[in-house]
A and B are shown apart, each in its own frame.
Chain A
Amino acid sequence: MGDHHHGPAKGIGRWLFTTNHKDIGTMYLWFSFAMFIMGGFFAMVIRAELFQPGMQLVEPAFFNQMTTLHGLVMVFGAIMPSFVGLANWMIPMMIGAPDMALPRMNNWSFWILPPTFLLLASTLFMEGGAPAFGWTFYAPLSTTYAPPSVTFFIFSVHVLGLSSIMGSINIIATVMNMRAPGMTYMKMPLFVWTWLITAFLLVAVMPVLAGAVTMMLMDIHFGTSFFSAAGGGDPVLFQHVFWFFGHPEVYIIILPAFGVVSQIIPAFSRKPLFGYDSMVYATASIAFLSFIVWAHHMYTVGMPVAGELFFMYATMLIAVPTGVKVFNWISTMWRGSLSFETPMLFSLGFLVLFTIGGFTGLMLSIAPADFQYHDSYFVVAHFHYVMVAGAVFSMTAAVYYWLPKWCGKMYNEAMGKTHFWISFVGFNLAFFPQHFVGLAGMPRRIPDYALQFADFNMMSSIGAFIYGASQIMFLYNVIATIVSGKPTSEEKVWDGAEGLEWTIPTPAPYHTFETPPKIDSAHAHS
């Protein structure tokens, strides 16, 4: 056992060989930010090409590679690992555990990510180019008509799935087994709850994704016919298997975001979270429903009407628990003593914009209406309101909220607020007009478009550049904080914050809770 009351090791070995949840969380966060920049760069290429109608900068084939890699990198490289990093940092501190349950495996689930994304990015330089079939990689585009690099893509997805499954098993084992005495399930902070449910979703659906890409692999190289009608298969089968993974996947992305804002809104309202129990049950209901709605992504492929109706009604049901959540966040603020520091601003931005994304989702859930919206820019606008204004905004809020606890220094508040407002304006400028061009009939995933969409697309591109540039300000603020921020040693950095992580010294020591804290009733969920 030796003496584990030591600080971090020196040099690169600290990061390569670490078993410390805080080190691993830090690596996940930095890695995901690097991927965010990379995926963002791909997005900038897309928006630059779409700045004006006509072909400007890139070939259509390369444009397709950009949309594909943008989606893959953002979903699997930026958003998911960022929340895993947050889980690593915060869950042990929130439940009074010394570390994650399986620390060596924890390090492994991180370290297989960077080389896998290197492999995925290297497909750009392979013969035939990178995968160009969209992040949803529908067959037969991704099988019969795929470039050879698809094989590397398939194995990359396998390894990403392995990483996610190991990370999730670790989180489940940590939450189920490492809670301090007295930290009952219904006392856990909501971020822990949402992650427990997310981890369950990941363990349930990542293997299904592995199955989907394995069928692709066999179709491409070994002559099977899962997705080929000539052999009795069906390309639509791919869509069913993919979206059985894909729909829970979008909740995998958004549930931890729900958890984050459920921590932050009470802190800056100086009130306990309204309706804690209903928040837990709503999260669980969303997770359950996510398994029975997948085909709402495929209304137009020619499903029987009974199927369309089932998936339509099941999808609409999700609005109920989601509405419960939005209601609770608003009720938390009701008559609260509100203040608007950067984390709160991003959480409020999340609340408003995610709700817009939720409403457009409700529109898309209506099968007959979806025949009009399907594969249009309306869909692009919808899911960016959920992915960016939902997941990324809440992640940004989380960084501002917990950064002082992590490094014992305060970020520049004025710059943080500026970052928020520029992001908010840039984001809406980028994506709100896409609703209009989508409804007017502009299809997604094309490098050129009809003249009547020109103005809105130019606005969209300008907004995207603004949003992209504002992230540099974010990066600068974080680095400046770590290097030369104003030191703070207050345990409770935010006066309204509740939870175990605010009872330990600031900055958080390398090892926390080596002997578990005793949870009294005063510590019932934050």
Chain B
Amino acid sequence: MSNPTSTEYETYYVPEKSKMAVMATIGLILSIYGAASIMNDMTFGDPTEPTSSWSIFLCGLFFFLATLFVWFRMAIRENIAGMNSAQLKKSYVLGMYWFIFSEVMFFFAFFGALFYLRNLAGPWLAGEGDGGRMNGILWEGFEFSWPMMQTPQEAVGGAVVQPIANNGSFTSAETSMAFAEVSHWYHWLPMWNTFILLTSSFTCHVAHLGILDGNKKKFNLWLGITVALGIVFLFLQVAEYYEAYALFGLTLNSGVYGSTFFMLTGFHGFHVFMGMTMLAIQLVRSLRGQFTADDHFGFEASSWYWHFVDVVWVFLFLFVYIL
């Protein structure tokens, strides 16, 4: 019994061979080599000695991004030319679903670290329970609270007394990012950011309803508003970082409070930047007339990503700022 065929099933399209994979590899490897070299120059290198790390990194990154641009353009052109079967389109949908799932797990690692540090490691360092004996030996005087306003190192007298740290010393923040004063509630940037991001998820959805109706004007308008809200969010995030560094003394060196705060909000901010860029590209594509009521996967995928970033923020707001 060999190869019984069924004619009602369409023939699947296997793309021609493509240079994209190798080009993207060259760009990617150059950029990670450059990035690693930059960091090693910074931490282990001799500052007087000039290196080519930045040039390698930037060349690699440019090459990588250019390749991705060409790759996506090719995929879009294939779709416009009608080469994509319904089955292939579903593969793209599945690809995006599982990509977003992998992103969820990436944030899960950092939220898990936050949970562990706040609820287990911190109290142990302060002497709680069986795990707490180290407090009397190494960190006498350290008391745990969250946000952690004094690092164990500072509690025992700072980097001079307790020099075990990777990169200088772990200083303490003066002010945390938590909600401070009811009378000045409107100064609290995270609240505005929450408001902006939730609104942008809503406007993104309105844009989606627009394209489903075939109403391109509505689509472009609300998509434009979404992108603009994304930019405002990023702007406020930068302002918040400035506030943290310049006014609050909260930096990456501020113990685990600074570490978790900047890593969680930083990666989230980066994902907002990515999502905003994706949506902006969809806006450009829409203005070029590439979307129809029943074929706008590029936008749909970007909007899922945008909603995902929004959901992450809700958790961030809850666990990083409020609780």
Contacts and interface: CB of A to CB of B under 8 A. Distances in A.
Tell me whether A and B are bound partners. Answer: yes
A201 to B, nearest CB: 11
B121 A98 contact: no
Interface stretch (A202-210, A260-268, A327-335, A342-350): A202-210
A7 interface: no
A491 interface: yes
A414 interface: no
A220 B2 CA distance: 59
Given A101-B94, A181-B6, A228-B165, A13 B252 contact: no
A518 B11 CA distance: 14
Contacts of A514: 11-12
Interface residues of B, number: 91
B289 interface: no
B202 interface: no
A14 B104 CA distance: 36
Please classify the interface of chain B as helix (H, G, I), strand (E, B), loop, or mixed, using the class held by over half of its residues: helix
Contact of B113 (A13, A176, A241): A241
Contact of B91 (A116, A173, A229): A173
A429 to B, nearest CB: 40
A111 B15 CA distance: 17
Interface string B1-38: 11111110101111111111110110011001101100
Contacts of B152: 229-232
Contact of B116 (A98, A99, A234): A234
The range of chain A's interface size is 35 or more
B25 A112 contact: yes
A88 interface: no
A518 B1 CA distance: 11
Interface stretch (A17-25, A53-61, A417-425): A17-25
Given A229-B152, A230-B164, A240-B116, A19 B16 contact: yes
Interface string A502-526: 0111000001011111100000000
A450 interface: no
Given A108-B21, A225-B256, A103 B4 contact: no
Given A221-B167, A224-B259, A515 B5 contact: yes
A84 to B, nearest CB: 15
Interface of B: 1-7, 9, 11-22, 24-25, 28-29, 32-33, 35-36, 39-40, 42-44, 71, 83, 87-88, 90-92, 94-95, 98-99, 101-103, 105-106, 108-110, 112-113, 116-117, 120-122, 124-125, 129-131, 134, 138-139, 144, 148, 151-153, 162, 164-168, 170, 251-260, 262-263
Q: Which 10 A-B pairs have the closest CB atoms?
A: A211-B109, A231-B170, A224-B259, A207-B106, A108-B21, A234-B121, A101-B91, A231-B255, A107-B21, A230-B153
10 contacts: A13-B17, A151-B40, A154-B36, A221-B43, A225-B259, A230-B152, A234-B120, A237-B113, A503-B1, A518-B5
